[in-house]
Amino acid sequence: MFLTQTFIYTITPKFDILISGGGSYARQEYTNFFTNEYSSKNRIGFDSLWLGFIYTGESIADFIPQITFQTAVVQREKAINQTKNFYLKSQSLQASLRGYSDPVVYSIYTGFGYNQSRKFKTLKIEYGNSIYVGGDLSIILSPKITLDLGAEQRFQTEQKINGYQNSEVRSIPTLSLGSTYSINSDTAVSVNASFGGSSASPDSIFGISLWKKF
């Protein structure tokens, strides 16, 4: 289970500061090899803090361009029995075009994710980098409700551990379906589900988001 909190602070009509932090809850269940007794462990912890910006450009025909950049200020990761904090080791850059045609709001986007290697006591892990392209579609069903659809194709380069490749280039297609309900002009709640189209992607991810304007 994951929890992410995102803040978008508007500096000017065209420039926003983006801050995002996340944590997770995990339950590990296992059987003791020697006693054959069942046991479990629960873990609640901080995972990452990202900082970036969103720049909105002048409209091009019927499209509004946006550029989003983020860097991981800190990421907390675990390998074997070592947990370590990594600083400024991951970055992402995304370009998108948004448009509106009653009753549809749509966007197309492409992006790149970069990961530097992680060095633990006995391991050097290279997660690989990713490039992706996708699109989102929101159909306005009523003044308060939208139907949200999305599709994305991502390619992940090979992963290496201590210089040895342990995965191939992966194709990760996903589809998403959800809905957003506007409680009032400042608050909205959305539910969504995404479904993987290959063995390299999760079978399904379900999420609930609360949007609040201050």
Residue 2, pLDDT score: 82
In angstroms, the CA 155 to CA 159 distance is: 12
Q: What is the spatial distance between Cα 155 and Cα 147, in angstroms, rounded to a whole number?
A: 27
Low-confidence ranges of the chain (pLDDT < 70): 32-33, 198-202
In the prediction, which pLDDT does 104 show?
96
The model's pTM = 0.86
Q: What is the DSSP letter of 75?
A: E
- What pLDDT shows up at residue 18? 96
Q: What is the pLDDT of residues 154-206, one digit of tens each?
A: 999 999 999 999 989 999 999 999 999 999 989 999 999 998 876 666 678 89
The token pair that represents 212 in the structure block: 């609040």
Kindly list the distances between the CA atom of residue 106 and the CA atoms of 45, 152, 157, 206, in Å, as whole numbers in the listed order: 36, 14, 29, 22
Can you give the pLDDT at residue 42? 80
> Which pLDDT value is given to residue 80?
83
Q: What is the pLDDT of residue 119?
A: 95
Task: Specify the residue for token string 């006995």.
Answer: 122
